[in-house]
Structures are given as structure tokens and as C-alpha cells.
A = this chain, B = another copy of it.
Amino acid sequence: MPPERRSRLSPAERRAQLIAIGVGFLAEHPLEELTIDELAVRAGVSKALVFHYFESRRGVERAIVTTARDSLLLATEPRLDLPPRERISDTLLRIAGFVRDHSGTFSSLVRGVASGDPAVRAIVDESRELNAARLREAFQELGAPDTPALRVAFRAWVSFTEEALLELVVDRQVDAVPVVDFLEATLDSVVAAAGDARF
């Protein structure tokens, strides 16, 4: 990119460009390998400019992880026009598709976010909470009660699903449809077990 084009970016555009480059990096490498130097070289700007926009390496990491997480959440937003059962299948299929198409980003978010920064971990945990809340909502529409046991079951099942997607879709490139069938079967059985739980 020639300098005269770079100089035309507004501050907001420049910041977004740096984040986009960082998200691209995350798709290929774990977060801990991203240095300010590396980001500056890739963007063709000075380190000082990167620090101007993000203040610190942690600031860069938080912005990148937030953007990567939000792109996953946005791409897999439940279609509220579908009835709850179909909505769950559809959402899971789109999550599996996202994981297939952006396997590096998904791996980095789930496996690789070991940045030494609790705030980065909290950013990823928020998406787990949101996914559990999406399930709770769909099952309430199906008539399931909102019990503490069921909340725990949904949250733990989100972790189950992350691990299964990493192994099946990222590592073994299994097709989305049988993966989603398997996940739905485990979801229903975990919900049933929560219904019988004595806590």
C-alpha cells in the first residue's frame, strides 16, 4: 500500500485497519506471538502510531480478541424468525461453518488465548455466557423451566461443544451435518440429566 493512500485514512479507519490486521494474524498464529513490532511492520506504520491507538500491547490484544469474538457472535446470531428447535440446529450449523472457514481464529480464541491478561480471558468468556443464554432462551420457548441446574448444564455444554468442534471440525475436518446431529443429541440428553439433578 503506497504511503499517499495510507495517509488518507481517518483515525477511526486507521484503528480499524490495525485491528483487522491483528485479527488476520490471529487466524494464523496464537495471540502471544503478536508483538507491536510485528503489527507495525504488517500495517506499514511506526510502532509509535500503534501505541498511539492502543496505549499498550494489552490494549492491542483486547481490541483484537473482542473483534474476533464479535465476528463469531455476529456470524452465528440466532435467527429469531425460526421456531426454537430449528433455530438451535441452524445456529449450530452456522457455528460449525464458521469454525470450518475460520479454524485458525476459532482455535486461537478457544485454545490459544493465554495472553497473561485476565481481561482477554473475560472477553472470550462473555461469548460463552451469551451462547449459554441463547440456549436458555430457546429451551424456555420449548417449555423447559429456568432452573439453576439447567443453567449449569448449558454453560458446561458450551465448553463440551467448543472442545468437540476443535477436535471434529478443526483437527479432523468432519462435515458439519453429522457434527451438529451429535451435538444436538448430547444437548438434549444433558438437558434431560439437568431435569433429574438434585441440586
One of B161, B175, B182, B193 near A149 (C-beta < 8 A): B182
A155 at the interface (CB under 8 A from B): yes
Size range of the chain A interface in the assembly: 35 or more
Enumerate chain A interface residues (CB-CB to B < 8 A): 30, 32, 111-118, 120-121, 148-149, 152-153, 155-164, 167-168, 172, 174-175, 178-179, 181-182, 185-186, 189-190, 192-194, 196-199
Kindly identify which residue among B167, B174, B181, B199 contacts A156, using a CB–CB cutoff of 8 Å.
Answer: B167
Once the chains bind, are B149 and A156 in contact (CB under 8 Å)?
no
A189/B193 in contact, CB under 8 A: yes
Q: Which residue of B lies closest to A181 (CB)?
A: B198
| Smallest Cβ-Cβ distance to A112: which chain B residue | B118
Kindly identify which residue among B113, B152, B172 contacts A164, using a CB–CB cutoff of 8 Å: B152
A114 CB to nearest chain B CB (Å): 5
Pairs A-B, 8 closest by C-beta atoms: A189-B189, A116-B116, A185-B193, A160-B160, A178-B198, A156-B163, A156-B164, A159-B163
